[in-house]
Amino acid sequence: MNLPSIHREGWPFIGTFVAVTAIMFLLAGPLGWLGVVLTAWCVYFFRDPARVTPTRVGSIISPADGVVLPVVQAAPPAELDMGSAPRTRISIFMNVFDVHVNRVPCDGMVIATAYRPGKFVNASFDKASEHNERMAARIRPAGHGDDGNDDLGVVQIAGLVARRIKSGLAEGQTVRAGERFGIIRFGSRVDVYLPTGYTPLVLAGQRSVAGETVLADARTQ
């Protein structure tokens, strides 16, 4: 059996949980087993399983594990300078038991990144897209021109208990669909703003798998 690897962001937390558990066993005896359970959860939270990414041209791949929220029309974050016209937005809510490693939704180039501080309301609420702390990236899919309508927005959003967004994307970076680009801890949401001409292939309530589930496709038009 192949066990999933652990994301490097998780090791400091796992080490802390192990140390606290040892102290609990020394000072509180049987209560140490509570620490064992919490340590096991921490290891589970930071798991980073391998994924097999579809290579079909024109597909947008899920950047996150979790439940698909209602697909709506919404303007992309202003800081990405993608215009104010509504686009199709697909949102994925990650609870504290989902894999939280985020993956790139398509081959292309990062045109811009932007961080915006904000609140920490429940990430399953629609208002989280507008008011919560977030890290946004604008990606130009491979083969697309410099028309902003062809760009894609992917936004990592902090949640009720999430207090740390980590993104490795940088302006000018070339990216590949399915590669890891960041992580959010603990419990959060990722929004994808589709380019013009793409049709959603998922429905609200469906579970998505980062790096594997096809969220949308240009060829269905």
- Which tens digits make up the pLDDT trace of 22-46? 988 888 888 889 989 999 988 888 8
Q: If you average pLDDT over residues 50-61, what whole number do you get?
A: 91
Among 59, 91, 129, 188, the active-site one is: 188
3-state helix/strand/coil string of the chain:
CCCCEECHHHHHHHHHHHHHHHHHHHHHHHHHHHHHHHHHHHHHHCEECCCCCCCCCCEEECCCCEEECCCEEECCCHHHCCCCCCEEEEEEEECCCCCCEEECCCCEEEEEEEEECCECCCCCCCCHHHHECEEEEEEEECCCCCCHHHCEEEEEEECCCCCEEEECCCCCCEECCCCEEEEEECCEEEEEECCCCCEECCCCCCEECCCCCEEEEHHHC
Is 200 within a domain? yes
Q: Same domain, yes or no, for 86 and 156? A: yes
How many folded domains does the chain comprise?
Answer: 2
Say whether 188 is catalytic. Answer: yes
Q: Which structural domain, as residue segments, surrounds residue 23?
A: 5-48
Q: Same domain, yes or no, for 82 and 191? A: yes
Q: What is the pLDDT of residue 144?
A: 73
Q: Same domain, yes or no, for 29 and 73? A: no
Is 28 within a domain? yes
Q: Same domain, yes or no, for 44 and 87? A: no
Is 166 within a domain? yes
CATH code of residue 190: 2.70.70
Q: Same domain, yes or no, for 63 and 87? A: yes
